[in-house]
Amino acid sequence: MRIVWAMFVLAAFLAPAAQAEDAAIARDLARDLAPTGTLRAAINLGNAVLARKGADGALSGVSVDLARALSERIGVPLVLVPYDSAGAVSEAAASGAWDVCFLARDPKRAEGIVFTAPYLVIEGGYLVPAASPIRALDAVDRDGVRIAVGRGSAYDLYLSRTIRHATLVRARTSPAAIALFAESGLEVAANVRQPLEAYAAAHPQVRMLPGRFMEIAQAMGVPKGRDAGAAYLRRFVEAMKADGFVAKALDANGQAATVAPAE
| Level-2 CATH architecture, domain 123-215 | 3-Layer(aba) Sandwich (3.40)
Gap between the Cα atoms of 17 and 187, Å rounded: 66
- Classify residue 263 by its DSSP letter: -
DSSP string computed for 77-109: -EEEEEESSHHHHHHTGGGTS-SEEEEE--TTG
**Do 123-215 and 2-120+218-259 have the same topology in CATH?**
yes
Domain borders along the chain are: 2-120+218-259, 123-215
Fold of 2-120+218-259: D-Maltodextrin-Binding Protein; domain 2 (3.40.190)
pLDDT in tens, 182-241: 999 999 999 999 999 999 999 999 999 999 999 999 999 999 999 999 999 999 999 999
Give CA separation, 237 vs 125, 145, 216, in Å. 26, 39, 17
Sign of CA dihedral 165, 166, 169, 170: negative
> Residue 16: which region, alpha, beta or left (left: phi > 0; alpha: psi -120 to 50)?
alpha
Confidence tier at 263 by pLDDT (50, 70, 90): confident
Output the pTM of the full model.
0.85
pLDDT in tens, 115-142: 999 999 999 999 999 999 999 999 999 9
> What are the backbone angles phi and psi of residue 52, rounded to the nearest 5°?
-145, 155
